[in-house]
């Protein structure tokens, strides 16, 4: 049975409210779960009279966050700067090296095992060497290198996979029409690899933050620098609410990085790629 012309606009008009309703639900559901969790946490700490140096209540953590916000934000700025720089270097290095791999199978076979070696080597194992090589007076540079090592491999691996996933029929068609190697790369392979690159960026963004924090712990970058040192300092002094406050800032930073990269992925892909397209079911 065919729909009349007057029925179609009514159906289309109802799509936007339904989509907005789903968007609100995706925000309200995790907020509700979080509020319930915090409420249960507050109740149990108060009911069992748990001491703050064992497990502080959410209210005590909030008070500590407000009281120490200035110093914590200053340290977060340092950690975030290291994270963003390591992330940018990981994206540039991973994409460029993956392009080189796609152009030369010999280069890929020669260098890829060493990239894997960087990935599987624990940061805590090589941190002392990195600090010695760059100089103990440059802990920030050592932290940057270690954070880059952690964030680099997902970009290289995902981009290499994306470049290799190009439909070989399209590749043959480009060659049939006399396209150069660079035309094939920029007009076929890189657009095809874009979803893989963006997925790698979402992974590397979080890993860059983790790498920066772990490197700060290992390198001992000093009390006036990263947020990891503030966490260690609070732990040594049994200022557990302050420690939790710093952890909350780190978590919020990681969540912000993830959602910012997810938004970028949606903006770049939703008009043409299935992974970001809206579905009715």
Write out pLDDT tens, residues 226-275: 888 889 889 889 999 999 999 999 999 999 999 999 999 999 998 877 76
Answer yes or no: do 225 and 165 share one domain: yes
Tell whether 251 is covered by a domain: yes
Q: Are residues 183 and 215 in the same domain?
A: yes
| 229 falls within a domain | yes
- Same domain flag for 171 and 218: yes
Q: Do 75 and 37 fall into the same domain?
A: no
Does some domain include residue 50? no
Sequence-distant contacts of 159-162: CB under 8 A, at least 24 apart: 159/94, 159/95, 159/98, 159/99, 159/193, 159/196, 159/197, 159/200, 160/98, 160/101, 160/102, 160/108, 160/112, 161/193, 161/196, 162/98, 162/192, 162/193, 162/194, 162/195, 162/196, 162/197
The count of domains in the chain is: 2
| Same domain assignment for residues 110 and 168 | yes
Q: Is residue 137 domain-resident?
A: yes
Query: In the chain, which stretches have pLDDT less than 70?
Result: 1-22, 220-224, 275-281
- Specify if 100 maps to a domain: yes
Indicate if 134 and 95 belong to the same structural domain. yes
* Integer Cα distance of 104 and 97 in angstroms: 11
Q: What is the pLDDT of residue 147?
A: 93
Residue 80 and residue 31 share a domain: no
The first and second tokens of residue 172, run together, are 């043959």
11 with 124, same domain: the answer is: no
Please report whether residue 52 resides in a domain.
Answer: no
Same domain, 40 and 82: no
Residue 70: give the domain boundaries.
57-276
What pLDDT, on a 0 to 100 scale, did the predictor assign at position 29? 85
């Amino acid at each position: 049975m065919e729909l009349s012309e007057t029925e179609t606009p009514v159906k289309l008009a109802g799509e936007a409210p339904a989509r907005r309703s789903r968007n609100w639900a995706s925000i309200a559901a995790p907020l509700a779960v979080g509020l319930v969790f915090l409420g249960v946490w507050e109740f149990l700490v108060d009911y069992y009279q748990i001491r703050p140096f064992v497990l502080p209540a959410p209210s005590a953590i909030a008070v500590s966050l407000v009281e120490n916000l200035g110093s914590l934000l200053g340290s977060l700025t340092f950690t975030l700067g290291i994270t963003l720089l390591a992330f940018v270097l990981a994206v540039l290095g991973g994409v460029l090296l993956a392009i080189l791999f796609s152009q030369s199978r010999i280069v890929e076979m020669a260098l890829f095992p060493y990239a894997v070696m960087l990935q599987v080597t624990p940061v805590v194992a090589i941190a002392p060497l990195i600090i010695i090589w760059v100089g103990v007076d440059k802990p920030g540079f050592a932290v940057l290198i270690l954070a880059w090592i952690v964030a680099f491999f997902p970009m290289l691996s995902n981009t290499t996979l994306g470049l290799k996933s190009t439909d070989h029929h399209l590749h043959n068609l480009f060659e049939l029409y006399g396209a150069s190697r660079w035309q094939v790369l920029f007009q076929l392979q890189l657009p095809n690899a874009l979803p893989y690159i963006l997925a790698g960026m979402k992974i590397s963004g979080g890993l860059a933050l983790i790498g920066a924090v772990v490197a700060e712990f290992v390198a001992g970058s000093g009390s006036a620098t990263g947020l990891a040192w503030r966490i260690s300092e609070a732990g040594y002094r049994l200022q557990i609410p302050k420690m939790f406050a710093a952890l909350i800032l780190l978590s919020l930073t990681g969540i912000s990085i993830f959602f910012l990269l997810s938004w970028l992925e949606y903006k770049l892909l939703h008009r043409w790629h299935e992974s970001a397209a809206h579905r009715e079911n």
